[in-house]
């Protein structure tokens, strides 16, 4: 009992000392704390005001029936979008709340009919259309009402159910996923469309159900490649980033604390100095490591984007079948490479809950991810993808994808005859 009393007394004395220090230093501490609080609240206010001032338009992209082109062409569109990046000044950032514009690329199955959409700020509509027509002259681009308005405003409800998740990468962003260059049949050399499996799954959804896949992208600065090069230097070339003074002090402190007991109780042993391998890097890496290094160096040399990847399966409760979720995630896994990078559902956003207040927590998760989808919110887990990776996961499928569910142009568009009389 006395031990508890003395402990409590010590705690009170410490609190008194802290209070005394605060009484002398409050004019330094409080303004600093209020500054950070004010900064967060102010930024949230001005950024929300800026976002609400942006007008968006939803474009449906309808591919021609006889399209036979590589996803590489879609890279031109993403390269064009990367040009909207700009460095924001202090005034633009903190006074006007300006942010880089967002674009949303969406693949939607509405009762088994698959549509491709691009949601873009209206000021960049011409940019998007120009790049699309340049690579796909026969494509049809239509401005359409937002499809998210065709479902109840609140889901789930008495008649509708929902399952959803954000996606994340399993490794650092610089590691690429399996891109379209790897989807090639080894015998014939013909490319297998990376979207074929996803479209097949989406095309089998029941008439009263929907599958929504969303990629919200924001252009990233070219200087991001420096972090990718740093990763290459650390992992493959043995050029670890030098530790700062504070980091060195902390490391040395814990190193001493970790080894002080064994050092006082016995003889101190020093590790033998490892012999440095001075061979060129191409002789030190295994064949698999060489392939990974090559993929990394190619990936960091491209235009990159901050990406929010989100998936929803929703519809009327009658016939609601969550096996579609497993099928869809399985189709997404075709982009995974254990030596490079992989997509996986992100645990914090998945619509499941167990144990305490499971039903209430589940409903909260479902409605949160649904609202974020229809708002095209970029909140939550994000990652970096290059233009090649984006072109792999979003492009116009070629004619080899025979799924009848894809909405395509009925007839080929051509120019006017050259001998047409002019009045």
Burial classification of residue 164, based on how many CB atoms lie within 10 Å of its CB (0-12 exposed, 13-18 middle, 19 or more buried):
buried
Q: Would you report the helix, strand and coil content of the chain in percent, each value rounded to 5?
A: 45, 20, 40
Give CA separation, 110 vs 57, 198, 357, in Å: 20, 14, 33
pLDDT of 7 reads 67
- Rounded distance between C-alpha atoms, residue 195 and residue 39, angstroms: 44
Residue 386 near residue 225 (C-beta atoms within 8 A):
no
DSSP state of 349: T
Domain boundaries, the chain: 55-222+288-409
pLDDT of 64 reads 79
Residue 231 near residue 174 (C-beta atoms within 8 A):
yes
Residue 309 near residue 166 (C-beta atoms within 8 A):
yes
- Rounded distance between C-alpha atoms, residue 262 and residue 316, angstroms: 65
Give the pLDDT of the chain (423 residues) as one tens digit per residue.
566 666 666 676 767 776 676 566 655 665 666 666 666 777 888 888 888 889 999 999 988 776 767 788 899 899 989 888 888 888 888 788 888 899 999 999 998 899 999 999 999 999 999 999 988 888 899 999 999 999 999 999 999 999 999 999 999 999 999 998 888 776 666 778 888 889 989 988 888 899 999 999 999 988 887 777 787 777 766 655 555 566 666 666 566 666 665 656 566 565 555 455 556 566 677 788 888 888 888 888 889 999 999 999 999 998 898 888 999 999 999 999 888 999 999 999 999 888 888 889 999 999 999 999 999 999 999 999 999 999 999 998 876 555 555 655 655 555 444 444 444
Closest CA to 332 of 182, 200, 217: 200
Within 111-247, strands assigned E span 113-121, 140-143, 160-169, 209-219
pLDDT of 241 reads 53
Closest CA to 391 of 195, 137, 128: 195
Q: Is residue 308 within a helix (H) or strand (E), and if so which, with residue range?
A: strand 304-316
Within 225-311, residue ranges assigned H as helices are 225-235, 245-265, 281-284, 287-299
């Amino acid at each position: 009992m006395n031990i508890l009393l003395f402990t409590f007394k010590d705690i009170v004395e410490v609190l008194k000392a802290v209070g005394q220090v605060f009484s002398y230093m409050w004019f330094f501490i409080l303004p600093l704390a209020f500054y950070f609080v004010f900064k967060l609240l102010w930024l949230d206010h001005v950024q929300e005001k800026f976002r609400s001032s942006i007008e968006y338009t939803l474009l449906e992209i309808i591919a021609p029936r006889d399209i036979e082109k590589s996803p590489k062409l879609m890279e031109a569109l993403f390269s064009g979008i990367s040009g909207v990046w700009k460095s924001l000044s202090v005034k633009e950032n903190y006074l006007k709340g300006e942010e880089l514009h967002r674009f949303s690329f969406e693949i939607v199955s509405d009762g088994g009919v698959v549509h491709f959409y691009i949601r873009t700020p209206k000021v960049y509509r011409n940019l998007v259309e120009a790049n699309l027509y340049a690579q796909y002259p026969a494509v049809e681009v239509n401005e359409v009402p937002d499809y998210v308005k065709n479902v109840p405003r609140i889901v789930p409800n008495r008649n509708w159910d929902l399952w959803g998740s954000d996606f994340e990468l399993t490794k650092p962003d610089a590691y690429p996923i399996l891109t379209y260059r790897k989807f090639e049949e080894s015998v014939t050399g013909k490319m297998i469309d990376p979207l074929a499996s996803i479209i097949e799954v989406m095309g089998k959804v029941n008439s009263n159900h929907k599958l929504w896949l969303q990629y919200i992208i924001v252009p990233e600065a070219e200087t991001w490649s420096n972090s990718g090069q740093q990763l290459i230097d650390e992992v493959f070339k043995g050029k670890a980033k030098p530790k700062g003074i504070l980091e060195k002090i902390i490391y040395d402190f814990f190193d001493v604390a970790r080894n002080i007991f064994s050092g006082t109780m016995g003889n101190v042993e020093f590790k033998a100095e490892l012999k440095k391998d001075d061979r060129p890097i191409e002789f030190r890496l295994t064949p698999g490591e060489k392939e990974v290094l090559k993929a990394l160096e190619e990936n960091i040399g491209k235009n990159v984007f901050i990406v929010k990847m989100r998936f929803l399966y929703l519809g009327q409760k009658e016939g609601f079948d969550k096996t579609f979720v497993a099928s869809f995630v399985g189709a997404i896994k075709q982009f995974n490479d254990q030596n490079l990078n992989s997509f996986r559902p992100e645990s914090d956003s998945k619509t499941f809950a167990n144990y305490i207040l499971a039903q209430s927590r589940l409903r909260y998760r479902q409605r949160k991810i649904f609202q974020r989808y229809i708002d095209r919110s970029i909140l939550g887990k994000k990652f970096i993808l290059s233009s090649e990776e984006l072109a792999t996961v979003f492009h116009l499928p070629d004619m080899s994808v025979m799924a009848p569910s894809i909405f395509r142009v009925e007839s080929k568009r051509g120019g006017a005859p050259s001998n047409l009389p002019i009045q």
